[in-house]
Structure 1
Amino acid sequence: MLWMIMSTDKPSQLETRNRLLAEHRKYLDDNARHIFFTGPQEEDDGSANIGSLYIVNAPTRGDAEAFVHNEPFYRAGVFDTVVIRRIRKGRFFPERAA
């Protein structure tokens, strides 16, 4: 089943995000078999990342929680809030993404 994990960063986390970016990307690569979609949340003008969005395929909520709890940004305390919700895939138009 699919789970949406939406995190919002604490203020002033850009330096920590940048420092952990390679580790974060490796974590995502190492866990690609569970990932449906990931991407950073950005300010409206695209000037800074302010959070993360993950859609993962995991059997249980506990597995989705484990995914985010092992994520380098989470472990470093970057995230202020994390929301996990079970979702269903509805309409899907990947060709419309830039």
Structure 2
Amino acid sequence: MLYALLCDDKPNSLQLRMDTRAEHLAHLNDLGDALKFAGPFLDDNDKPCGSLVVIEADSREAAKEIADSDPYAVAGLFATVTVRPWNWAIKNPASS
């Protein structure tokens, strides 16, 4: 099952995001094939203000564990994290 991790940064936390970015990217790369895609949300000034990460996991609990172990989450960057099951219906490369 695919899960979307919808993460909103705390206000005025761009520096924390930048300081933790290398560890965050390493965490995502360590997910291997479980990571389907990821990237930041941008604010009105084109600055990162959150994240969208789509992963494959056995359960919502397993997806939440992955979200909780993200260095951004550990550093306290996120104001909210929502874990939602997601169906990749259109342009899914796995169904081509």
TM, length-normalised to structure 1 = 0.89
Any unmatched runs of 5+ in structure 2? none
Deviations 1:48-95 (A, max 9, x none): 10000011000100110011100000001100011111011100278x
Query: Structure 2 matches for 1:8-87, cutoff 5 A?
Result: 8-46=8-46, 48-87=47-86
Q: Which amino acid letter does the alignment assign opposite residue 83 of structure 1?
A: T
Q: Which amino acid letter does the alignment assign opposite residue 41 of structure 2?
A: Q
How many residue pairs match? The answer is 93
TM, length-normalised to structure 2 = 0.90
* Partner-residue secondary structure (3-state), 2:18: helix
Q: Which amino acid letter does the alignment assign opposite residue 92 of structure 1?
A: K
Q: What's 2:87 paired with?
A: 88
Distance across 2 between alignment mates of 1:37 and 1:25 = 12
CA RMSD of aligned residues (A): 1.4
Distance across 2 between alignment mates of 1:30 and 1:38 = 13
Q: Post-superposition, which runs of at least 4 consecutive aligned residues in structure 1 deviate over 4 A?
A: none
Any unmatched runs of 5+ in structure 1? none
Distance across 1 between alignment mates of 2:92 and 2:31 = 24
Offset at residue 5 of structure 1 (A): 0.7
Deviations 1:19-44 (A, max 9, x none): 11111111111112210110001014
